[in-house]
Chains A and B, each alone.
Chain A
Amino acid sequence: MTYGVHSAVVRFGDTLALDGVSLEVEPGSVVAVVGGDGAGKTTLLRSLVGKVQLERGVVDAPSPQAIGYLPATAGSWPSLTVAQNMDFVGGIYGLSGKALVSRRDELLGRASLLDVADRLASQLSGGMRRKLGFSMAMLHDPPLLVLDDTGVDRVSRVDLWRLVSEAAAAGAAVVMSTTYLDEAERAASLLALDGGRMLASGTLQEVLDSFDGAVARTASPHRRAWAWRRGRVYHEYWPTTAEVPVDAVAVIPDLEDVVIALSLLRGHDREMAS
């Protein structure tokens, strides 16, 4: 079964948090939701798990029993040990006895947390805490796994991605939000958000192919408002109607270029509209 959110509109007071956003995820695949702070990633994921009510739109999701959710916050109880956290969640989902111990140890082993099973969650590093949160979300083997902002250090991200990939390979539909675009490139499909609206969606190739315009590398941008830093140089967006200047070199845009250029275009459209 495909899960997702369709044409979702969410409003918090006067703020339009989501404006016609759609997301679909199939079993055995990973969908990455990308965007900057305040883009609407967390609201979208919360809508999917039933934590936020839509003003308009449709949510296709299984029962809470079949959802594994790792919120952007800690995701574990700090004054419980690693094993006690797993046992608590296991109890909520009706796991007990040998089945719980076996599943707990299997997941902690995969997350390299078995050696710290007796350590308090508050004493774990940030990356270890996220891995514990992931293991807790995976404990009941949910068909839908929703992971909000897995942003941790680079080494822990590699570990987490391995765990996410394993979960998807085992058949779970995984939706994860991230601010790291390189991380999102590994997903089966992605959804880019900005200010609660969809910038782009589809597979990486589809998103790149749908980009209308050119990106040029330059040491000195011609229009500061349309340029962004990439290492020691700038990348600058040029619409199809314009010529790339001779002192700039056209590059094949990657996901980061496309998302930034689309954000700038949207900001420009908004300014023009107002």
Chain B
Amino acid sequence: MRAMIVKEFRELRRDKRTLGMLIAMPLLLLVIFGYAANFKVPTVKAAVVGTQATQFAATLPSSFFDVTLIEKTDTQADAERLLENNTVDVAIVTGQQPALALVDGSNLFASQAIVSVLNKSGDKVSSQILYNPELKTSWVMVPAIIGLILTFIGTIVTSIGLVRERETGTLEQLAVMPIKPATVILGKISPYFLVASIDMIIITGLGMLLFSVPFNGNPFVFVLGAGLFLFVVLGLGVFISTISQTTGQAIQTAFMFLMPQILLSGMIFPLDAMAAGVRWIGYLLPLTYFTMISQGVMLRGASLASLWLPFLMLTVMAVVVFSGATLRFRRDLAPGRRRHHGTVVAEPSGGQAGSEARSGS
């Protein structure tokens, strides 16, 4: 018994990844559930338009409404555009009795809070919820779930597929074959890209069929966003494979990437309700931006122009993550790969290995 316990501790001490998880996971959960697990949105961004805009804005409780725009000449159409572009959570149209508060229903918890506060203000304002009139959770969750499934395939499934080559020793065989590292990587991830795309279509279709989730926007914008997001998560999968020697390690690491995305991307807990420090972690996660795109396109019918920020962030992430990961994978695949055939001479140069092709054959 004692020998078994000692052996287990010795093994655990050498399993740095599990040890890291044992330390990091409780800390992560503590931070998340302490600072992020909050459904109560403290403030919302508001716009007030119409002839009585200035006077009406003054009557709104400033502790809840962060009035970012007051425009007397704007109309209801302008107010709707502000919501569509996700500029504000609520746009109040004045100049009529009662004033009309247009609420962005795609932001579930914010809109629930807005309706609750406005209901207390009596008859001076009526509210109309756009994009998700019945405030259905499924309408908000399905677009986010699509991203989660793409993340799952991109990180876990892809990293397992790549690590399996390492585990079975076939990666070594590929490294010696006349096949470029880029071809190996593209050949490996293309099937996952295709499978993830098919999964995305099925989940979107089923979400629309089973939960009546609308698709108000341009499918091309949605596909473009999903494609970019897939590149990011596939890059993460390739990266995970380069730091894992076994399937078990790959799954363990992928979960460490997946967990924060589920909890901090705004998919479950609204980003606006999180403490600032934790919210910034959320802003570093790709799922945050895909959820903005999928909810924006499907529910609000948002245009490409209005979604420039999430598209820009995903593009930057795709370039950085995918390039970095493929470079690491390339290094693993061909550490001493001969660029030209023939005689390779290695001479010591400051203690570092150096080689050059002297002649071809």
Contacts and interface: CB of A to CB of B under 8 A. Distances in A.
A, B from the same assembly: yes
B59 interface: no
Interface of B: 168-170, 172-173, 175-179, 335-338, 340-348, 353, 355, 361
A56 interface: yes
B335 A77 contact: no
Given A51-B172, A58-B344, A63-B178, 4 more contacts: A50-B336, A54-B355, A58-B346, A73-B169
Contacts of B337: 50-51
Interface in A37-96: 46-47, 49-67, 69, 71-78, 89, 92-93
In the A-B complex, list the 9 residue pairs whose CB atoms are closest, starting with the nearest.
A73-B169, A63-B341, A53-B336, A54-B346, A50-B338, A64-B178, A69-B176, A65-B178, A59-B344
Contacts of A69: 173, 176-177
Contacts of B176: 49-51, 64, 67, 69, 71
A74 B174 CA distance: 13
A57 B346 CA distance: 5
Nearest to A47: B336
A73 B361 CA distance: 30
Given A53-B355, A58-B343, A59-B343, A74 B338 contact: no
A170 interface: no
Nearest to B346: A54
Given A65-B178, A92-B178, A55 B346 contact: yes
Contacts of A1: 361
A43 to B, nearest CB: 11
21 contacts: A1-B361, A50-B176, A51-B172, A51-B335, A52-B336, A53-B355, A54-B344, A56-B348, A59-B344, A60-B342, A61-B344, A62-B341, A69-B176, A71-B169, A71-B172, A73-B172, A74-B169, A74-B170, A75-B173, A77-B168, A77-B170
Give the size range of A's interface with the partner: 35 or more
A144 to B, nearest CB: 11
Contacts of B338: 50, 59, 61, 63-64
A189 B297 CA distance: 71
A63 B343 CA distance: 10
B341 A64 contact: yes
B344 A50 contact: yes
A64 B335 CA distance: 14
Contacts of A93: 177-178
